[in-house]
A = this chain, B = another copy of it.
Amino acid sequence: MTETRWLDADEERSWRALRRLLTALPARLGRDLTALGLSSTDYEVLSTLSERDGWRWGLKDLARKMEWSRSRLSHHAARMEARGLIEREPDPDDGRGSIYHLTDAGFRTLEAAAPGHLDSVRRRLLDHLSRDELAVLERISTRIADLPD
């Protein structure tokens, strides 16, 4: 039996602070976005789709790019299709595949929400960080996120 090594005071404070950030920031951005008519997840799907020429992605590629499970994306896409934001069609090159693409309405919805969302990210995060802090945050975030799953 080895003794559990607890957190020292510095670690404890940092971890508590980060936990607060981890819950508060996404919640706030999500609320702002909801006020603009989209959930965070809706926005994520729309903006990722729009990054590709023709606004077209296969489910599998899109799910990998977004780091979502395929099941999750399939469910979510079904709901978004019902609202007319995206459409799905069979992949002509692979009978198993499914191609998702933005509708015009979906693109307009994204365009309408984007400036407000950007503003929200600034007000709730970027405006409060110096250039140095921005750099450190990027370095830390990348290193941690890049660790193996």
- A interface with B by C-beta (< 8 Å): 4-7, 10-11, 13-15, 17-18, 20-26, 28, 67, 114-115, 118, 121-122, 124-126, 128-129, 131, 133-145, 147, 149
A24/B145 in contact, CB under 8 A: yes
Residues in B neighbouring A20, C-beta threshold 8 A: 141-142, 145
With A and B bound together, what is the CA distance between A14 and B138 in angstroms? 4
Whether the pair B137, A18 counts as a contact (CB closer than 8 A) is: yes
CA distance A129 to B17 in the complex (A): 15
Measured between alpha carbons, how far is A58 from B147 in the docked complex, in Å? 40
> What residues on B are CB-neighbors of A10 within 8 Å?
131, 134-135, 138
- Residue from A25, A129, A137 whose CB has the most chain B CB atoms within 10 Å: A137
- Choose among B25, B122, B138 the residue that contacts A145 (Cβ–Cβ < 8 A): B25
Q: Which residue in chain B gives the minimum CB-CB distance to A138? A: B14
Taking CB atoms, residues of chain B closer than 8 Å to A131 are 10
**Is the Cβ of B118 less than 8 Å from the Cβ of A4?**
yes
